[in-house]
């Protein structure tokens, strides 16, 4: 743990020093920023997995139970995975997609995490220009319940028989230099197995060293019979725009405020700043109708936190108090945190570190600033 945490931090701090030394070299500056971004991404992955592991070990992980469309979920996963695979020339083939009941009730966040973990490993431990075959098959148990069987077969490095016995143990990696060569923390499979079992499913695999690995996962779902299907409409490409949107930004951390303000103003939004929940509440109450289109609210702030501020806004007598979109921006990224945010009257939960594109699209969707192109 100490090694895995300190290594990317050392890289980040070191690249800052290198960048400072080569102040006038634009190409070197760009290279340093890229390496800082990659190191911070690894550190974020490690922190997420350690926190997830802690939640699972203490049995504090809360599964969602909500409607979602399995095909849409798979498409979201596929967009990310295929981009990663292209970088190494790996071909991903969907050999079978036999899911008839796509509208389901379950915990889509955790389903996505499980499938992503398996596919990411299939890319990470594959050979250059290798292949990954994917299958999804539905097994209907009764009128209300199905099991989706996910199969992932890769042409990767495979696993030795001895390592196969320890693959689900935390921090398990087959070779001492695996972290350096392949990256990763050795927590992914432990988390995957725990999540699968918590969702009432099963996981198994077959592997041969030097040949590849095949994983099989079965997950049960309840069929959502309440979804009303509309006729298929012509698909549109939507371009999100927040130009001219008035954003009340509540954030107590100066660095986070500077970053969010830069992202929003670069995209054409007007930013009104508040440094705690009480200040945001007062600004909203004193504003005229139309002066604020949306509120971005950090959750953990001094004086008054974001949850309390959101409640007071919803309870206030302002004409648009019930309707103004309030988006939570928080480093509290678990399912129970999302639930608390929604219970406080907010519309969405965006986990930090914020992705600029996701933030802009979310604001655009709520403020009606979306350009449509046939």
- On the question of a cis peptide bond just before residue 353, with omega within 30 degrees of 0, the verdict is yes
* Strand ranges for 141-283 from DSSP E: 145-154, 202-208, 212-223, 237-240, 246-250, 270-274
Q: Is residue 369 within 8 Å of residue 243, measured between CB atoms?
A: yes
Domain-embedded: residue 365: yes
| 40 and 82 co-located in one domain | no
- Altogether, the residues listed in the chain come to a count of 374
Tell me the C-alpha distance between 272 and 342, whole Å.
23
| 137 and 194 co-located in one domain | yes
10 Å Cβ neighbour count for 294? 22
| 256 and 317 co-located in one domain | yes
Closest CA to 143 of 222, 29, 251, 215: 222
CATH of the domain at 107: 3.30.565.10
In this prediction, residue 193 carries a pLDDT of 92
Domain-embedded: residue 51: yes
Q: Which of 175, 194, 223 is the last residue of a domain?
A: 223
Number of domains in the chain: 3
Q: Is residue 192 within 8 Å of residue 119, measured between CB atoms?
A: no
Burial class (CB in 10 A: 0-12, 13-18, 19+), 106: buried
In this prediction, residue 282 carries a pLDDT of 96
| 108 and 190 co-located in one domain | yes
Domain-embedded: residue 359: yes
| 82 and 200 co-located in one domain | yes
Task: For residue 82, give every residue at least 6 positions away whose Cβ sits within 8 Å of its Cβ, in sequence order, or none.
Answer: 92
* DSSP, residue by residue, 167-199: TTSTT--SSTTHHHHH---S-HHHHHHHHHHHT
In this prediction, residue 333 carries a pLDDT of 61
Whether the predicted model's global pTM rises above the 0.85 cut: no
| 253 and 330 co-located in one domain | yes
Domain-embedded: residue 228: no
Q: Residue 136 forms beta bridges with which residues?
A: 97, 150
| 93 and 215 co-located in one domain | yes
**Beta 270-274 vs 246-250: how paired, if at all?**
parallel
| 367 and 255 co-located in one domain | yes
10 Å Cβ neighbour count for 144? 12
Q: Residue 67 forms beta bridges with which residues?
A: 105
**Beta 145-154 vs 294-298: how paired, if at all?**
unpaired
Domain-embedded: residue 232: no
| 140 and 258 co-located in one domain | no
Structural domain including 29 reads 2-57
In this prediction, residue 50 carries a pLDDT of 72
| 102 and 179 co-located in one domain | yes
Using the structure block, give the residue that is written with the tokens 């102040």.
23
| 99 and 163 co-located in one domain | yes
pLDDT tens sequence for the chain (374 residues): 565 677 778 888 888 999 898 889 999 999 999 889 888 877 877 777 677 667 666 676 778 888 999 998 998 888 888 888 888 899 999 988 999 899 999 999 889 989 988 999 999 899 888 999 999 999 988 889 999 999 999 999 999 998 899 888 876 666 544 444 445 556 788 889 989 999 999 999 999 999 999 999 999 999 998 875 443 333 343 567 899 999 999 999 898 899 999 999 999 999 999 999 999 999 999 999 989 999 999 999 999 999 999 999 999 989 899 999 999 988 776 667 788 888 899 998 888 888 888 899 899 989 865 544 33
Domain-embedded: residue 230: no
**Beta 246-250 vs 294-298: how paired, if at all?**
parallel
**Beta 294-298 vs 131-140: how paired, if at all?**
unpaired
Q: Which of 57, 75, 93 is the last residue of a domain?
A: 57
């Amino acid at each position: 743990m100490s090694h895995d945490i300190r290594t990317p931090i050392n890289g980040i701090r070191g690249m800052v020093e290198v960048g400072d030394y080569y102040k006038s070299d634009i190409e070197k500056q760009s290279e340093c920023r890229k390496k800082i971004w990659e190191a911070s991404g690894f550190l974020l992955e490690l922190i997420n997995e350690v926190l997830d592991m802690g939640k699972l070990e203490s049995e504090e992980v809360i599964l969602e139970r909500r409607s979602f469309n399995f095909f849409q979920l798979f498409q979201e996963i596929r967009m990310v995975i295929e981009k990663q695979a292209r970088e190494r020339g790996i071909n991903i083939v969907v050999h079978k997609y036999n899911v008839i009941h796509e509208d389901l009730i379950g915990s889509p966040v955790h389903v996505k995490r499980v499938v992503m973990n398996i596919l990411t490993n299939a890319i990470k431990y594959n050979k250059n220009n290798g292949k990954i075959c994917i299958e999804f098959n539905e097994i209907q148990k009764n009128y209300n319940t199905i099991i989706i069987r996910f199969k992932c077969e890769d042409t990767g490095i495979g696993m030795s028989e001895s390592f196969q016995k320890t693959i689900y143990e935390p921090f398990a990696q087959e070779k001492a230099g695996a972290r350096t060569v392949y990256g990763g923390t050795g927590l992914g499979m432990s988390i995957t197995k725990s999540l699968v079992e918590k969702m009432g499913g099963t996981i198994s695999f077959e592997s041969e060293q030097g040949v590849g690995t095949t994983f099989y996962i079965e997950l049960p779902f309840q069929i959502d019979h309440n979804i009303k299907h509309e006729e298929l409409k012509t698909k549109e490409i939507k371009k999100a725009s927040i130009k001219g949107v008035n954003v009340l930004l509540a954030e107590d951390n100066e660095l986070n405020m500077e970053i969010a303000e830069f992202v929003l103003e670069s995209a054409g939004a007007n930013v009104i700043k508040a440094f705690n929940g009480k200040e945001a509440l007062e600004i909203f109450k004193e504003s005229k109708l139309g002066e604020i289109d949306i509120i971005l609210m950090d959750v953990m702030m001094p004086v008054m936190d974001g949850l309390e501020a959101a409640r007071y806004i919803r309870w206030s007598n302002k004409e648009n108090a019930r309707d103004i979109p309030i988006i939570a921006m928080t480093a509290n990224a678990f399912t129970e945190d999302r639930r608390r945010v929604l219970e406080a009257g907010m519309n969405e939960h965006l986990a930090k570190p914020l992705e600029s594109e996701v933030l802009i699209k979310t604001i655009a969707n709520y403020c009606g600033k979306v350009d449509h192109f046939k």
